[in-house]
Structure 1
Amino acid sequence: MSDEHAPWQVVEYEGFEIHAAPFAKDLEESEPRRAPGPFTYVGYVCHPGADPAIPGHAVQFHADGEEAFATGEDALYEAVHVGRSIIDGTHPDLSVLPLVTGGV
């Protein structure tokens, strides 16, 4: 499933929005298909009303390549957790600092 057709969920947190979408992970052809799943996620953090398509208006994130979740709900829970860590400044690689200092 492509990102634009994903079931996006929005969570407001500390003056930001966390947009997250779980979706079924593509399996290698050699792997047996189970219905449905496993799941993964994509997401981004932005100010309310920001356009994520404009560079510098959002901090995008996704699950690590090997990360998989049994249900879409589990993937969504983890995505929101990651989004909160980005906002809180506890994520090891991503930060909302460019959104704050860039005036976006």
Structure 2
Amino acid sequence: MSDDQVRWESVDYEGFEIHVSTRPKELVRPGDTSPARYTYIGYVCHPGANPALPGHTVPFHADGEDVFATPRDAHDEAVQVGRSVVDGTHPDLSVLSLVTSGV
């Protein structure tokens, strides 16, 4: 999926924005009986931040083995991950750099 085809959804949370894009991880081909699986990418930022500028976002993504049955399942998990980044409960990511840099 090219960057110009990526659809982002935004959720406001505790003074931050959580941006999420779900996408197929396994494509269903015509005649294929196996269901599609989905994954996600996302980032957390301050409202109005420019995600193209370095240091203006905290990006995150699904672990390599994580797959979800529906786009909604992937979206919901991504929002939960984004909330954990904002709340400071994510084991590896934090919004501290956004707060201390003033962006």
TM > 0.5 fold call: yes
How far off is 1:33 after superposition?
A: 6.8
CA RMSD of aligned residues (A): 1.6
Report the number of matched residues. Answer: 99
| Sequence identity (%) | 64
Q: 1:5: how far off? A: 1.8
Distance 1:3 1:75 in 2: 19
Partner Cα distance (1:33, 1:63) in 2: 25
Question: In structure 1, what is the equivalent of residue 86 of structure 2?
Answer: 87
In the other structure, the counterpart of 2:59 is: 60
Give the TM-score taking structure 1 as reference length: 0.88
Q: Is the 8 A contact 1:3 1:42 kept in 2?
A: no
1:5 corresponds to: 5
> What are the Cα deviations for residues 14-62 of structure 1, in whole angstroms up to 9, with x where unaligned?
00000001100046xxxx6735x20000000000000111000000000
Which residues of structure 1 form unaligned runs of 5+? none
Letter in 2 for 1:80: V
**Deviation string, structure 1 residues 54-76 (Cα, Å, up to 9, x no partner):** 00000000000000000000000
2:23 matched to 1:23? yes
Unaligned runs of 5+ in 2: none
Which SS does the other structure have where 1:60 is aligned? strand
Paired residue type of 1:56: G
Q: SS at the partner of 1:25?
A: strand
